[in-house]
Structure 1
Amino acid sequence: MKKIILTLVFASAMTTLSAQTENVESASTGTEFNKWSVELAGGVNKPQRPMSSGYFTSTPSPYVVDLGVRYMFNNKFGLKADFGYNSFEGKNNSADFDTKYYRVDLQGVANLGRIMNFETWTNTLGLLGHAGFGLAQLEDQNSSWKDRMGNFMAGVTGQIKLSNRIALTGDFTTILNATQDRAFDAVSNSGTRGFGGIIFNGTVGLTVYLGKNEKHADWVIDHEGKFDAIDARFMAIENKMLDSDKDGVADYLDEELSTPAGAMVDTKGRSIDKNNNNVPDETEAFIIKNYGSTTNNSPLLTNNELITSLINGGYVAVYFDFNKSTPTNVSTEGIDFMLTYLRNNPTASIDIVGHADEVGRSAYNDKLSNARANNVKNTLVKANVDASRLNVIAAGEDTSVDIDSENARRLVRRVTFRVK
């Protein structure tokens, strides 16, 4: 009988391990999960009855070994085939005896952790319930006597998830034997042919999850995949609705991401400049009010000190897309502004300062910032500005913004100017 049980368990385990762990998607969970697992545990036992007078074991007594293979139909219910071994020996003042108990069982499994919504308070603790029928054999190691019987077993298994592949388990199981002829000590008759034999097993072990998906059914939550998809959509919408420059126009519609907060802009986020002098009307109105002359029709063209401070303060800039040395279409207005300034101030010369964000190697970003500055210089030279008035400076990486923020990095992919 022992050889037959061992052969059946080994064949079942090998078949399971070689089975293809295909992708499974549950209608209730909405996500793919693994179905197969292998369980190995060991611990102690206590045969309750029948025991002959003067024969007993320790409480508890070693040893118990349990090997199981489990298949989950979904995240709540499955089947388990397992093989168990118990050793019974006389202890303390008991008469000497040595018997071994072998069993093989097929059990239904219920994931009580999912049924009772453990996920509302923990993501690492689980609970399984299991029950089923099987065959067993009790052997006396001091004789050739063997007793074959049927059994019914039920138990609960606590789980602690160590990773998506391994869980630590603790199990308590009760086994009822039917048609047991002898007591567990193999001395006297059992006295009953019904479910008279009782064994309590307590074990600690590991469950190893098989499959190529991220999670096993034990830890998959109902509608988890659907909720993840919804969260991803909400996140995408939130990212699109970001307004980095606080001008009231979402970034995905904004063609001018560096507009000062509160500035008047059009529907595309561009500063309003009705007189086309490359200075936003709101900024110009403030300058005229505070620095201009009510009798001067063009205060911005005559107040060179103010214009110089604006240029040197970085208010005039040319912006670039990621890994590009050609200005964006909307930022060429900065070049036009500098061209107007240089034509109105023929003795002035400027530094053209190129910048890059921190993404990539520093050496490459130095070259990129230099290429951006030279691109702006060449544009001014082609507009008949003497090259001797233009000095290129490669400032390299600008580390003043968060490297993980794409919107912030856009602000430092630029060329600025300094009047000398």
Structure 2
Amino acid sequence: MKKLILTLIFAAAFTTLSAQTETEKTVDNNDYNKWSVELAGGFNKPQRPMTSGYYTSTPSPYVIDLGARYMFNNKFGLKGDFGYNSFEGHSDSKSFDTKYYRVDLQAVANLGRIMNFETWTQSLGLLGHAGFGLSMLERKDPTYLKDRMGNFMAGVTGQIKLTDRIALTGDFTTILNAAQNATFDGATAGASRGFQGILFNGTVGLTVYLGKNAKHADWVTLIDKNVLALTDRVSNIENKMLDTDKDGVADYLDQEANTPDGMMVDTKGRSIDKNNNNVPDETEAYILENYGNKSDTTTVYDNELIKSLINGGYVAVYFDFDKSTPTNVSTEGTDFILTYLRNNPSASIDIIGHADELGRTAYNDKLSNARATNVKNTLVKANVDASRLNVIAAGEDTSVDKESVLARKLVRRVTFRVK
């Protein structure tokens, strides 16, 4: 039955989770920085078009890239950047010197967060970027040449977080030029369509994070608050469904959390006690059968088992809130102790009073003493010598949830300890 209940609860929980994914997530976007500036430099390799007999070193210096990036969240953003490339002939090439300028707007994806890098590292990251822009190839000698074109670029950027403000980066980018009229060496002009120009850039640089918060979006893991709340609710349900004493009743419904193994219980986890003497019927039947006076089944002889049951709290007297007079049904607990003392004239007991946590501690100490004294007076009136009875005020019982009405009922009691 308990497994069926758990199955239904989890089914309902995940149905709710699926529904929530269709709505806007509630995430606090004010606890991390979004802006950064990036500066990098490195090498390039123009692939084509190149005039026969003209070529650069592999790789060839040099590249400079300056950009600014804004992250909408910890996974996606936009980047605007300016790039400068210099192309010069290799020692075995015909001499040339051209410059390449570009400006681009790119979408950025934080691949490190998308692939959950945070599960295995806190200092390595990976960005992917792609976008379009405008570019220009320029040559000054021997004759001036300027070729304007569009471009598409895409690349990946590895990150090493040095501090919360600075990251070391390494980037590899491919640039495709559209309608490039001149070769990269500037020696030949011939109109072409499509993305015919190919250029590779490799750079190393630094990213500086801007903002007043401690961390940047590159390095934070956002949690959907709705999902977090649902997770907590499911966790609480799991905890409530625990059955510590294994009596078949979940802890949150169990009014008797320490039922002995194998004991029959009712729907509230309480040992069956039809005669309301605060001793479980099975225990009482066993005691009477094995240790009782065969001529008088209400009398129980002294033995270690009975003593351990009394000392274990299985015999108790209960009280209503703010009362020092026992409830009507719980007086049977006093009768049980009275019978025990009469059959064991050498025994003496501690009468231990308890109170719940509501109210002031000093008042509850007095109330626990009054409850224990009330029980003592009842036993004295039944001709038990007062010297055999020792009152102890235990005060507040903090072992249960003070917010639970049912739990508080269980600690408003008097227990006994045989000496």
Q: Which TM class, normalised by the smaller chain length?
A: 0.5 to 0.7
Alignment match, 2:135:
136
Taking every aligned residue pair, what percent have the same amino acid on both sides? 41
Alignment match, 2:102:
103
Alignment match, 1:253:
253
User: Whole-Å Cα distance in 2 between the matches of residues 236 and 382 of structure 1?
Assistant: 40
Equivalences for residues 245-324 of structure 1 within 5 A: 245-300=245-300, 302-303=301-302, 306-316=305-315
What is the CA-CA distance between 1:270 and the residue it aligns to? 1.7
Q: Show structure 1 runs of 5+ residues with no match.
A: 1-24, 358-366, 400-409
Residue in structure 1 matching 2:368, options 373, 376, 382 = 376
**TM-score normalized by structure 2?**
0.60
* CA shift in 2, pair 1:398/1:215, >3 Å: farther
| In the alignment, structure 1 residue 65 sits paired with structure 2 residue 57 | no
* CA shift in 2, pair 1:341/1:68, >3 Å: same
Alignment match, 1:392:
392
User: Whole-Å Cα distance in 1 between the matches of residues 134 and 244 of structure 2?
Assistant: 70
Alignment match, 2:25:
31
Alignment match, 1:404:
none
What is the CA-CA distance between 1:390 and the residue it aligns to? 2.7
User: Whole-Å Cα distance in 2 between the matches of residues 330 and 40 of structure 1?
Assistant: 78
* CA shift in 2, pair 1:263/1:278, >3 Å: same
User: Whole-Å Cα distance in 1 between the matches of residues 96 and 297 of structure 2?
Assistant: 116
Q: Is the 8 A contact 1:180 1:196 kept in 2?
A: yes
Deviations 1:391-415 (A, max 9, x none): 437699999xxxxxxxxxx999998
Matched AA of 2:370: N
What is the CA-CA distance between 1:197 and the residue it aligns to? 4.1
* CA shift in 2, pair 1:209/1:159, >3 Å: farther
Single out whichever of 144-153 and 253-262 deviates more from structure 2: 144-153
Matched AA of 1:191: A
Match of 2:91, SS?
A: coil
Q: Is the 8 A contact 2:34 2:216 kept in 1?
A: no
Q: Is the 8 A contact 1:38 1:208 kept in 2?
A: yes
Q: Show structure 2 runs of 5+ residues with no match.
A: 1-18, 381-385, 400-408
Matched AA of 1:153: F
User: Whole-Å Cα distance in 2 between the matches of residues 208 and 336 of structure 1?
Assistant: 74
**TM-score normalized by structure 1?**
0.60
What is the CA-CA distance between 1:236 and the residue it aligns to? 3.9
Alignment match, 2:45:
47
Match of 2:237, SS?
A: helix
* CA shift in 2, pair 1:266/1:36, >3 Å: same
What is the CA-CA distance between 1:280 and the residue it aligns to? 0.7
What is the CA-CA distance between 1:173 and the residue it aligns to? 1.9
Alignment match, 1:20:
none
Equivalences for residues 19-418 of structure 1 within 5 A: 28=22, 31-32=25-26, 38=36, 40=38, 42=40, 44-48=42-46, 49=48, 56-59=56-59, 61-70=61-70, 80-88=78-86, 90=88, 93=91, 101-108=100-107, 130-138=129-137, 147=146, 149-157=148-156, 171-178=171-178, 188-194=186-192, 195=195, 197-203=197-203, 231-300=231-300, 302-303=301-302, 306-316=305-315, 337=333, 341=337, 345=341, 348-350=348-350, 352=352, 375-383=367-375, 384=377, 389-392=389-392, 417-418=416-417
Matched AA of 2:38: L
Deviations 1:86-124 (A, max 9, x none): 34365873788876544221235678899xx957xx887
Matched AA of 2:135: A
* CA shift in 2, pair 1:259/1:91, >3 Å: farther
What is the CA-CA distance between 1:200 and the residue it aligns to? 0.7
RMSD: 6.0
